Structures are given as structure tokens and as C-alpha cells.
A and B are shown apart, each in its own frame.
Chain A
Amino acid sequence: MPDGAKPVLDVRGLQTVFRTRGGDVHAVNSVSFHLKPGELLGVVGESGSGKSVTMMSLIGLLPMPPAEVRAGEVLLGDVDILKITPEQLRDVRGRRIGFVFQDPMTSLNPVFTVGNQVMEPLLRHMNMDKKQAFARAVELMELVGIPDATRRMKDYPHQFSGGMRQRVMIAIALACDPEVLIADEPTTALDVTIQAQIIELVKDLRTKLGMAIVWITHDLGVIAGIADRVMVMYGGQVVEQAPVKELFANPQHPYTRALLKTIPSVSGQREARLKVIEGQPPILGAAPTACPFKPRCGHAFDRCGNENPQRRALGADPVGYGHDVACHWDARTGGPV
């Protein structure tokens, strides 16, 4: 395996389907990715691209039914966590995989004190008594930069601002020193100046604690500043994957290329007119037999309608380790592969 390091999380061919009255919705289609120790993987995509559902399905947080994980394996260390019992999975969640959700307003329980909620995973997973858990919780709150932590342990979530609540969420997620932290749009609900605070905090915690992070976002700007590697999702599949600088410098998939052009920047040249991606994101009905981006793609040709492209590596590294793209069109030659 390149780089020598064994991935802490290895997802292979994950497929998640929602069974609805109107038929199956194929939300995640054979998604594969891995996470190396200490790495920050950015996952980018629009709403409905399957980025959240992918992460929710791998730790069993989707309501089943209607959701159903049809195929794939999720290796955390050597264990396939899709195959273990719900009881065993509960020991994984919060203990080995921490989760930070998008909305800090709704993901904390309003009737319990913040201290209570930070202590909960410690009591559940770490065999601590209340006194130890309290001391550790105060430590965690200080770690994430909540001033006057001992006193604030007794406060309720509504007494915290949005940014502070997200810090509490991060403290909870970090409580048991997880190997993997999954952050699902952790800054989307926050203002830019608060977002900058949280991003600095996560960067800082990463160097201190050295865990691997999956950071889901639709904001390419955030990704550019924080990620080591980026995975772009569209229509429930991974369309491109590359180290962050490579992706921004040398995007290959027509969707990634268009997406990078549609977002204006606060610095640099101001475009007279924004580039647009015409049309709408796909509705994920039947299992895909064509490229999901075909209706909006400027380079599409016959093959794109007949065959859903597989990810292909661009360099010598195998898929998932260097730069890979799922497209029948070759951006380097400007013609079919």
C-alpha cells in the first residue's frame, strides 16, 4: 500500500438505498474511500449528493427502514462495522468515531446541562466515575476554548451562542479520544468570523491530538484551507478524488471544473459574469446506468449515456491514493479516454 500507513477507516463499495413509496432512491452508489491516520479528508458536494448519507450509513445513524445499506464494507481497524451487532456498534460510536453535526442548535439536548452532555460519553464508554468524568469534561471544555469552563458546565445549551455550542459538540465528539472524527458541515450554520474560530480550533486540535478527520462541506473555500485530500461527490457517487492542491490546480472531472468556476472569490480577479452549471442536480431514482452528470455536462458523448464511468487513477497510484476521476472524458487530451 502506498505511504506505508494502514488506513484507520476503509470504506469499500458502500451502497445505501432509501425505500420509499415512489420506489427506491439510490442515495449512495458504491462509494469507496479511506482515511489515513492523522489525515483530514474533505468531502465536497451539493445537497443531495450523498455526502451526509454516506457518513451516516457507515456508523448506522440512518433510520432503517426506510434506509438500507445494501452492499459494502466499512473497516475500522480490522473490524467491519457494518457486520457487528447494534450493541457493539454503540461502543464504536462516540468511543472510536466521534461525530459533529451541522446544527449545534438542535444536536444538543435542551433539557440537560452542557456538563451533563459532555460527561455522558465518558460515563458510558470510559468507565469513569462522576468525579473523574467531571474533571475530564472541564478539561475538554477548556481544550475547545470555552472560557470559565467549570462554571459553564452547569449551564444549559440555550445559554451558549452558536459558536460556543459547536465547541461543546466538538468537546463531546473528542471526549473518548476517537480515532476518527466525522464533522458534517460543522461551520455551515455559523457566521464567517465564528467559522474562522472553529476552523482554527480544529487545525490546532489536529496537531495536538493527531486524529483523522472527515470534514463534509459544500464550501470549497473551507476545504482549500483545511483539507489534505478532497473527495468530490455528485449524484451519490465519488466523481473525483485528489490531494487538495492537485484538485484545485488540476481538476479533471467536468463537474469539479465547473464548480470551481462558479464560485466567486474575495481576492484575485473579479469575473464580469459568473460561470453557471446549467440544469438541476439529478433525482436519484433507479440504480444509475449512465453518468449522473451527463445532462449538465458540456463534454458528454454517447458512452456517458450508456455506461456509468468507474473511477480511474490518473497516475501510478491506485484509485484512492493519488488523483482519480470517474469520467469517460479525458481533460488532459480533451477527448474520450
Chain B
Amino acid sequence: MLDAKPAKPLVTVKDLKMYFPIHTGLFRRHTGDVKAVDGLSFTIFEGETLGLVGESGCGKSTVGRALLRLYELTSGSVTIDGDDIATLSSEELRLKRPAMQMVFQDPQASLNPRMTVAAIIGEPLDEHTDWNAEKKLARVYELMDAVGLNRAFANRYPHAFSGGQRQRIGIARALALNPKFIVCDEPIAALDVSIQAQVVNLLEDLQEKMGLTYLFISHDLSMVRHIADRVAVMYLGRIAELSPREPLYADPLHPYAKALLSAVPDPDPETEGKRQRIILQGDVPSPSNPPKGCNFCTRCPEVIPICREVKPELAEVRPGRFVACHLVTPDNQKAAPGSTGGPEATEHNQQGEPKK
């Protein structure tokens, strides 16, 4: 799928950092930072869906918000369609907003209960166009058709709609200005199983019709497998592995990606009975005090001494597959392809060390 497209990057993120300061004591002195996102680099190509998965608190939602500069970045750059949005002035940023939109997790909280559906969907048009009321209404109807809402409901309020329909309103609002890039932050997490599929199919249809690019943030690994072309697995503010969908799900390389995928229950009692689970011990460390070295070293079942000292860099270990792990080395350096753990991998790391 990916190879067929001309790989033109739409969003390029370089060394993105998003720290939230901690103030303590009587004088509210700055005593530390919650390192929600700690040095992230990746690219999203035009027309693709990049899935961003991880457990709660790993920083995935922060990435989504930082990409649209809903937060002021601590450092790093985010280039969307040629402009580095981290350095734009507020007016330039406002003019840039139509190209980048967001669909939020909770359709209940992200819609103003005092506005009608038509007013909610039309609000971006009020802000960014000088169209007359008639033209705006025509556009609102067009959008309602596109997301499968009945036009007759245009004057109703959000409370009159079900969760799935509310999420459709949120999607219509995001589409109003013909964006190129949409961040979908857990768009289906609040919905029932039978409704989730409806919304995911809608997002896929719209992508096909309008050539949209998505960052699809979710903790639901099976749904991400369905919708994403490439998937980034985050752990504690960093990317552990970024790979195309099929190789990631068939053969995850990073120990965290392996554990995460093995933890997802499979709706099939036959395979469930046979599966070997990797049960991670303990909990995720606090992002205000991440461990030294690799941030997964406290829970990693394959940890070796170097992991506690040196932070692994995200490197391309197979064509298109990026992994940040001392145990995973590029194919051409491998003595025994396919094996990741064990002494030979340690050797390669030691050999690799002087190069840095």
C-alpha cells in the first residue's frame, strides 16, 4: 500500500520535546519536569494513516496536541506542509489552522451543549471564511451528508444525539475547512463496540474521498492494525518502534512492542488457549523521573547491562522499520538473523559503541 504512493512527507517532526514544569514549595520553584514527550522524530507521508499507540501516560495524546501547537513546544520542530508551526506567529498560525484539524476523544465534552449542530459544524467557517449565511448552510448540509447525519437534525443540540452521532458531528466540524491533516485523538475510545466500526469505516471513506492524512492515536491495537498504514509504539515519552503495519504485528522487534502485542486479548478461544503471553512486571515509571538509559529497562524481560546506562537511539534496523533498542541491530550487522536477544546481540552493541 505504502510503496504505491509517492512518499511525500506532509508532517515532519524533529526531536519534539514537550515538558510540563513541576512547581513545588512555598515559592512555587521550578523543581523538575514531567517529560511527557522526550525527543520524538518521525514523518507522516501524504495520504497515509500513522497509528500512534501506547499505554495511558505514555505521551501519545500530548504528541497529537503538540503537533497542532495546542501546546507551546519545549523544543524541536514540527513541519506541516512546508511551515514549521513551532515558530509561526499567532496570526500566521491562525491562517495555517484550516489545513490541520483535530477529532477529540470525548464527543460529549468537545461539543458545546448550547450550540446547534449547524452552528458547531459551521463555526470554523465563521472564523476562516467571509461566506454569507446561505453559502455556509449549504456547506454545513454538504458536510452532514458526508458524515452520514440527517440534514433534518441541523437545528438540534448535541444532547439529542447518541455517542456515535456526536463523534460524526466532531468529524464534520474537523472537515469543514478541507484540511489536509487530521489528528484523531482516541476517536472511538468512548464508543460501543458496534458503533466503533461505523466511525472507523467513515474515517476510512473520508480519507479515500478527500485524500486526508491521519495521525490516529489509540490504545486499541487491533483497531490500529485495521486503520493504520504505519504504526508508532510509544513508551514513556519516546518511540520504541515505528514500523509498517504488517511487519510490526507479525514480528515486533522492540521488547515492549512484543509485550504489548502479546497482551492484547484475541477474540478466539482456540488461539487464546495456546498463546504465550509476555506478562510485564510492575508499572510504568513516572515521566517526571524516567529511569537512566533506556526508559523501558525497569520492566524489560530482555534487559542487559548497557540498557541501564545508555539511551538507545531510534535507528532504521530493517527497511522502513525504526527501533530504539540495544538488542535490535541492523540486519547487515547480524550474525544470526532472526534472533534478537542473547550474547551475540550484546557483542554487536559493544562493537557499535565506538562509532558514536
Contact = CB atoms under 8 A, between A and B. Distances in A.
B97 interface: no
Contact of A191 (B204, B219, B261, B279): B219
Interface in B245-300: 249, 259-273, 277, 279-280, 283-284
Given A192-B221, A265-B222, A266-B225, A225 B283 contact: no
Contact of B194 (A222, A223, A258): A258
B210 interface: no
Given A191-B56, A221-B266, A273-B204, A259 B193 contact: yes
A115 to B, nearest CB: 20
B260 A193 contact: yes
B260 A218 contact: no
A195 interface: yes
Name the interface size band of chain A.
Answer: 35 or more
Nearest to B259: A193
A196 B263 contact: yes
Interface string B201-213: 1001000000000
Interface string A218-261: 11111111000000000000000000110011000000001110
B264 A248 contact: no
Contacts of A262: 193-194, 196-197
Q: Which of A258, A265, A266, A281 has the most CB of B within 10 A?
A: A266
Contacts of A221: 222, 264-267, 272
B222 A263 contact: yes
Nearest to B165: A280
A25 B279 CA distance: 43
A89 B234 CA distance: 48
Contact of A244 (B192, B197, B222, B269): B269
A271 B204 CA distance: 13
B223 A264 contact: yes
Contact of A224 (B195, B219, B268): B268
A195 B223 CA distance: 17
B278 to A, nearest CB: 8
Contact of B283 (A164, A224, A248, A277): A164
Nearest to B198: A276
A307 interface: no
Nearest to B299: A193
B255 to A, nearest CB: 12
A263 to B, nearest CB: 6
B265 A222 contact: yes
B107 interface: no
B198 to A, nearest CB: 5
Contact of A276 (B56, B194, B221, B268): B194
A275 interface: yes
A274 interface: yes
B162 interface: yes
A94 interface: no
A254 to B, nearest CB: 12
Contacts of A194: 55, 283
A248 B269 contact: yes
Nearest to A263: B267
Interface string B36-52: 00000000000000000
B269 A193 contact: no
A46 B162 CA distance: 14
Nearest to B270: A245
A196 B265 CA distance: 8
A224 B269 contact: yes
A194 B221 CA distance: 15
A265 B197 contact: no
B159 interface: no
A261 to B, nearest CB: 9
A200 B192 CA distance: 26
Nearest to A245: B269
Given A191-B55, A280-B164, A260 B267 contact: yes
Which 8 residue pairs spanning A and B have beta carbons closest together? A221-B265, A196-B263, A191-B55, A225-B272, A274-B197, A264-B226, A277-B194, A220-B267
Given A195-B263, A263-B222, A273-B204, 10 more contacts: A191-B219, A197-B279, A219-B265, A220-B267, A221-B267, A225-B273, A248-B267, A267-B266, A273-B201, A274-B226
8 contacts: A46-B192, A220-B193, A225-B265, A245-B269, A245-B270, A267-B249, A268-B268, A276-B197
